[in-house]
Amino acid sequence: MSFDLGPALLFCPADRPERFAGALHKADAVILDLEDAVLPVAKAQARENLLAADLDPSRVIVRVNAPDTDHFADDLAAVARTPFRMVMVAKSEDPAALDAFDDQFRLIALCETARGVHHAGAIAAHPRTVALMWGAEDLVASLGGMSSRYSDGRYRDVARTARAQVLLASGACGKTAIDAVHLDIEDLDGLASEAADAVASGFGATACIHPKQVAVIREAYRPDDATLSWAQAVLAAADGERGVFRFDGRMIDEPVLRHARAVIARG
């Protein structure tokens, strides 16, 4: 099982069904959110909205409440009655909790607490996990902190460490890593910088909370013409070569060729 929905994943509150189609149209996939975006009193109606949603199931992710909450069982029952089979599990901490899903589901485990990040490797190794995502604000809250970022917008070291741990755990298990949302909607330059770093580091997608962020993320993940031309040329030059070879003044080996293949895949 794999994750192949595209780079820009847009959250949409499940209690706002009038936004579902528009969100899906604007992004590569929509994350219909039953968790933090929906107040407790609105969760039952949000589940009903899922049942009534007429959306392409191949491009829909449903975020359910954490396994240790009272809402989890009801979320599971509702999703089972829909055609949607990609589920994001909020505040994933225990890989055993993912056994609640049968093998028809593909899971995105959201590691957004200290315990979840600590267990990211075991969570990534679960057979129904296809991707991991991390979250900064819940992580810092789980530590008793107050902010994931410095006043200039940079992540604090604890957030950067968690981001790296989730990326490494995903890669070690051959799963996709999804970068966290950028909460400052107007800070498109900051989002562009973070998304560029995400793709350079190995993330497969970035989640977002507003439609205006979609184009910025897509642009960051799309290789520019010069990079794409380099990748095509170096792979063509590698045809028939054995081991390390020289290309355009640079020594080329298998890791560089893997970088080039990743560029082509995003082109």
Phi–psi pair at 262, nearest 5 degrees: -65, -40
Distance CA 227, CA 160 (A): 27
List binding-site positions for substrate.
Answer: 63, 112
Of 4, 6, 33, 10, nearest to 22 by C-alpha is 10
Quick one: pLDDT at residue 1? 46
Distance CA 193, CA 152 (A): 13
Of 206, 135, 201, nearest to 168 by C-alpha is 201
pLDDT digits (tens, 9 = 90+) for 69-101: 999 999 999 999 999 999 999 999 999 999 999
List binding-site positions for Mg(2+).
Answer: 112, 138
Distance CA 249, CA 99 (A): 52
- Whether residue 121 contacts residue 99, with contact meaning beta carbons closer than 8 Å, is answered with no
Residues of the chain with CATH 3.20.20.60: 8-221
pLDDT digits (tens, 9 = 90+) for 244-265: 888 888 888 888 888 888 888 8
CATH for the stretch 8-221: 3.20.20.60
Distance CA 167, CA 121 (A): 10
Distance CA 25, CA 198 (A): 24
Whole-model pTM above 0.85? yes
Select the more confidently predicted residue: 267 or 22. 22
List binding-site positions.
Answer: 63, 112, 138
Phi–psi pair at 39, nearest 5 degrees: -65, 150
